[in-house]
């Protein structure tokens, strides 16, 4: 019946050590575990095995690099599926860390994809998100449920590309508008070839340049006009004067205190060098410093440590006094060295400025004043270069410097004529700039050049816009054709599954008598738009959000998924439901079971849940399903698992372990659930309770009373009920200060009695309880398949 024998997951997401899910000859499998025990990693692993990626992780920014478990080593991250179908046999997909988007595959994966082209897993979050999706998001969701994910990706890429074309066109149009405005500012007309050539020819004619007839000729004539500008004598002269202005501005200002401070240095130096004997003593400073250190360390003050001669008095005080006098001399010397260094720097700066000034002015003999300035600067430079070497000696060795040998007259001339030469340059530049003939030539050349540059750029962008418009129109047609094709395909697929969707939805929403005929409508005015439609109290409502609750919308989503699996994976009868019951109201648990039993009894299902109540309902409805319980999770291992037990099995285990109170408590909870089921199916009346909470005794009495009414007090089932004692519930559920309590054997006897009663109501053929109903006016109490009849 099934298609899968075993799924092994290793080193993947929350699973580290290999986790083998054994389906035991093709049976279905239910896995129970609290949140955080690793159930979702199983669904992620299957999605990766089926599609090569995990879509919900990608939406959250976690790509393929997040698939391996934290502690998994290379080669340990894999999903292996053993199939019962010999065409598939065994397929293994291993994560490749060097090519994270291209896993290593062994086995016939292509055959698997052909058998299972449609997605066959559904998560709780898929249904909850479905409720709040936009029209476009629902379009993608339902398309994916129908196996059209790749087509939708292509459509999305086409839409993105179309948007980029539109965006690029808009950007180019903004730029061409800017160019046109700049062009109009110069030419006062829009850029057109005939008018553009006419404007240029009118300018070329003024300068006896050839007339142009084609655009390709313009650049050559502009080059000719450029040569006219370059040969224009007034432009050449203006350029020379502007260069002179630049060189003069770099030359000035000059150091006005140079003469004064050089003379001051020479006076201080002369005064310092007067006493030659004192100068010689400077070399003794270091000697005295060392001597003081020796005297202090040896603690000897009346004898010379160098010659051993006795000294009358304190030798340390004598040497320290000598050193103090020499210190003052050294400070004077250091001060002069500092002045000397500053003067050398200023002289170097002056020499550099003069060299730059005179070298650049060599070719610019523009006026007598500039020529005189250049000569004076050269003379001054030569004079300071003669004394500069004298300043490079140590202070005590510098020969007498005669500052009067410096050409201070030339220097003063440079200072005096600074303003005059700057005014002369400014005047000449102004005169030349205001020259009408020169101005007209320059302005015409600039106008021609700017118009040409703007026109060429306008021409290129205009061509791009026209080409893009052609591409956009053609591409839009291709895109629209593809979108229409996808819409048609989606509509066809939905029409294919519409009957099943309606039937599945009606099972899930059987109490909603005013709801009918759920449909999907494609919005023709939207590229990716889907609206859901439903009959509501005889009228068609769209969108369904106006009338459907969140749970009813989830019923719609589940119906679409199951109908798609049934119709689009006809040869691959397997699917995964990951905690989907959480998105429904609790009373719908049995209806999901009913839907699965009625329409998917020949399917192999992997069902994951953390709902303990639904778990017991599943165990009772599908006794042949394999059961696994995740008891916890460990980062180094992954899920901790063991074979799961149903409620009766757990009660028996507590009895075996001699835990009567735990067994009684579990039995009480189980009985309350089964009695509620029976009371509902037999339409028993329970005493009103504002909180809608009923005790085991109240449910038991309601059921017994109902059966007495319908099958009589003497019926053997009623007699069995009369003999059943519910008193154990009080002792098991509350603390009792008593020396006696129920033993494990007594709880076992109560359990056996109840199982005898329950088996009278439960059909092993259809795995359902009997139900009270009237058929053709006749009261009946029988199971859905008709094999078990009480009345």
If DSSP codes are grouped into helix, strand and coil, which group holds residue 705? helix
Most confident of 33-47, 270-284, 478-492, 740-754: 33-47
Average pLDDT over residues 287-308: 70
Q: Does an H or E element contain 36, and which?
A: none
Q: Based on the fold, state whether residues 386 and 361 are members of the same structural domain.
A: yes
Q: Among the three residues 382, 409, 433, which one is the final residue of a domain in this structure?
A: 433
766 close to 741: Cβ distance less than 8 angstroms: no
pLDDT digits (tens, 9 = 90+) for 737-787: 555 578 888 889 888 999 999 899 998 888 888 999 988 889 999 988 888
Domain limits at 423?
236-433
Position 515 scores a pLDDT of: 82
Count of all residues that appear for the chain in the document = 791
State percent of the chain over pLDDT 90: 35
Q: Based on the fold, state whether residues 263 and 387 are members of the same structural domain.
A: yes
In a domain, 363, yes or no: yes
pLDDT at 528 over 80: no
Q: Among the three residues 415, 433, 451, which one is the final residue of a domain in this structure?
A: 433
Residue predicted with more confidence, 217 or 560:
217
pLDDT at 486 over 70: yes
| Helix, strand, coil share of the chain (percent; to 5) | 60, 10, 25
Q: Distance between CA 313 and CA 291 in Å, rounded?
A: 16
Average pLDDT over residues 456-467: 94
* Among candidate residues 416, 408, 282, 300, the one with its CA nearest the CA of residue 336: 282
Position 81 scores a pLDDT of: 95
If DSSP codes are grouped into helix, strand and coil, which group holds residue 27? coil
Q: Distance between CA 456 and CA 200 in Å, rounded?
A: 14
Average pLDDT over residues 123-135: 74
Q: Does this model's pTM top 0.95?
A: no
Position 231 scores a pLDDT of: 86
Q: Based on the fold, state whether residues 428 and 386 are members of the same structural domain.
A: yes
What band does 175 get if pLDDT is binned at 50, 70 and 90?
very high
Which phi and psi (to 5°) does residue 515 adopt? -100, 140
Residue predicted with more confidence, 724 or 687:
724
**Six token digits for residue 772:** 């009270």
pLDDT at 222 over 70: yes
Q: Based on the fold, state whether residues 409 and 334 are members of the same structural domain.
A: yes
State percent of the chain over pLDDT 70: 91
Position 647 scores a pLDDT of: 83
Average pLDDT over residues 100-104: 92
What band does 338 get if pLDDT is binned at 50, 70 and 90?
very high
Q: Based on the fold, state whether residues 426 and 337 are members of the same structural domain.
A: yes
Q: Based on the fold, state whether residues 663 and 640 are members of the same structural domain.
A: no
Q: Where do we find the tokens 């508008």?
A: 177
Average pLDDT over residues 25-29: 85
Q: Is the dihedral of CA 738, 739, 744, 749 positive or negative?
A: negative
Residue predicted with more confidence, 24 or 632:
632
Q: Based on the fold, state whether residues 624 and 760 are members of the same structural domain.
A: no
- Close Cβ partners of 330 (under 8 Å, ≥ 6 residues apart): 282, 285
Position 234 scores a pLDDT of: 85
Position 280 scores a pLDDT of: 64
Q: Distance between CA 45 and CA 49 in Å, rounded?
A: 6
**Structural domain count, the chain:** 3
Average pLDDT over residues 47-54: 92
In a domain, 247, yes or no: yes
pLDDT at 620 over 90: no
Residue predicted with more confidence, 696 or 732:
696
pLDDT digits (tens, 9 = 90+) for 670-683: 888 888 889 988 99
pLDDT digits (tens, 9 = 90+) for 709-735: 989 989 999 888 888 877 777 666 655
Q: Based on the fold, state whether residues 256 and 396 are members of the same structural domain.
A: yes
Q: Distance between CA 558 and CA 564 in Å, rounded?
A: 10
Q: Where do we find the tokens 């400073």?
A: 285
Q: What is the mean pLDDT of the chain?
A: 85
In a domain, 223, yes or no: no
């Amino acid at each position: 019946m099934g298609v899968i024998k075993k799924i092994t997951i290793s080193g993947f997401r929350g699973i580290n050590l290999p986790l083998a899910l054994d389906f035991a000859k093709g049976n279905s499998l239910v896995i129970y575990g609290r949140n955080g025990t690793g159930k979702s990693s199983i669904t992620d692993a299957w999605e990766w095995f089926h599609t090569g990626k995990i879509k919900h992780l990608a939406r959250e920014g976690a790509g393929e690099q997040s698939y391996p478990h934290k502690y998994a080593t290379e080669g340990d991250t894999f999903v292996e599926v053993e199939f019962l179908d010999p065409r598939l046999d065994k397929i293994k997909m291993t994560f490749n860390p060097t090519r994270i988007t291209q896993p290593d595959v062994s086995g016939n994966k292509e055959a698997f994809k052909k058998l299972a082209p449609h997605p066959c897993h559904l998560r709780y979050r898929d249904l909850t998100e479905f409720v709040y999706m936009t029209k476009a998001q629902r379009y993608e969701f339902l398309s994916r449920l129908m196996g059209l994910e790749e087509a939708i990706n292509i459509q999305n890429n086409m839409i993105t590309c179309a948007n980029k074309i539109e965006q690029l066109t808009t950007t180019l149009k903004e730029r061409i508008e800017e160019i046109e405005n700049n062009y109009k500012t110069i030419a006062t007309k829009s850029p057109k070839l005939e008018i553009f050539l006419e404007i240029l020819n009118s300018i070329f004619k003024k300068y006896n340049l050839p007339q142009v007839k084609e655009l390709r000729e313009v650049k050559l004539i502009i080059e000719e006009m450029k040569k006219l500008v370059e040969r224009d004598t007034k432009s050449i002269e203006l350029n020379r004067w502007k260069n002179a202005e630049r060189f003069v501005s770099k030359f000035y200002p000059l150091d006005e205190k140079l003469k004064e401070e050089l003379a001051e240095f020479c006076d201080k130096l002369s005064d310092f060098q007067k006493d030659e004997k004192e100068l010689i003593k400077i070399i003794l400073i270091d000697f005295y410093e060392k001597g003081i250190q020796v005297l202090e360390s040896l603690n000897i003050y009346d004898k010379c440590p160098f010659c051993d001669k006795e000294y009358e008095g304190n030798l340390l005080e004598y040497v320290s006094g000598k050193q103090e006098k020499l210190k003052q001399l050294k400070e004077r010397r250091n001060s002069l060295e500092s002045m000397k260094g500053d003067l050398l720097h200023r002289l170097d700066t002056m020499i550099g400025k003069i060299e730059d000034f005179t070298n650049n002015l060599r070719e610019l003999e523009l006026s007598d004043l500039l020529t005189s300035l250049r000569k004076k600067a050269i003379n001054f430079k030569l004079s300071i270069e003669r004394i500069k070497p004298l300043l490079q000696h140590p202070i005590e060795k510098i020969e007498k410097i005669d500052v009067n040998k410096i050409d201070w007259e030339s220097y003063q001339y440079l200072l005096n004529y600074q303003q005059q030469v700057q005014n002369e340059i400014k005047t000449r530049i102004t005169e030349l700039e205001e020259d009408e003939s020169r101005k007209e030539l320059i302005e015409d050349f600039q106008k021609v050049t700017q118009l040409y540059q703007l026109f060429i750029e306008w021409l290129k962008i205009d061509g791009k816009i026209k080409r893009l418009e052609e591409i956009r129109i053609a591409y839009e047609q291709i895109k629209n054709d593809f979108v229409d094709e996808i819409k048609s395909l989606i509509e066809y697929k939905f029409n294919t599954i519409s009957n099943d969707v309606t039937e599945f939805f009606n099972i899930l929403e059987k109490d909603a008598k005013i709801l009918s005929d759920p449909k999907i409508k494609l919005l023709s005015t939207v590229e990716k738009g889907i609206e859901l439609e439903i009959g509501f109290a005889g009228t068609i409502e769209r969108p369904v959000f106006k009338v459907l609750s969140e749970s009813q919308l989830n019923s719609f989503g589940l119906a679409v998924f199951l109908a798609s699996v049934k119709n689009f994976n006809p040869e691959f009868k397997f699917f995964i439901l990951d905690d989907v019951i959480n998105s429904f109201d609790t009373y719908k648990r049995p209806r999901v079971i009913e839907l699965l039993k009625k329409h998917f009894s020949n399917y192999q299902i992997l069902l994951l849940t953390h709902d303990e109540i639904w778990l017991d309902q599943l165990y009772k409805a599908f006794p042949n399903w394999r059961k696994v319980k995740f008891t916890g999770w460990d980062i180094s291992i992954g899920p901790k698992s063991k074979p799961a037990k149903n409620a009766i099995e757990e009660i028996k285990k507590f009895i075996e372990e001699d835990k009567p109170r735990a067994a009684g408590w579990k039995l009480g909870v189980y009985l309350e659930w089964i009695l509620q089921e029976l009371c509902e199916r037999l339409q028993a009346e329970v005493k009103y309770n504002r909180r809608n909470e009923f005790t085991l005794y109240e449910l038991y009495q309601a059921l017994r009373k109902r059966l007495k009414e319908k099958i009589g007090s003497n019926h053997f089932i009623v007699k069995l009920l009369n003999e059943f004692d519910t008193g154990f519930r009080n002792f098991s559920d509350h603390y009792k200060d008593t020396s006696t309590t129920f033993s494990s054997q007594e709880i076992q006897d109560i359990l056996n009695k109840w199982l005898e009663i329950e088996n009278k109501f439960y059909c092993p053929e259809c795995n359902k309880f009997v139900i009270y109903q009237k058929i053709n006016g006749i009261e009946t109490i029988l199971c859905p398949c008709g094999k078990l009849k009480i009345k």
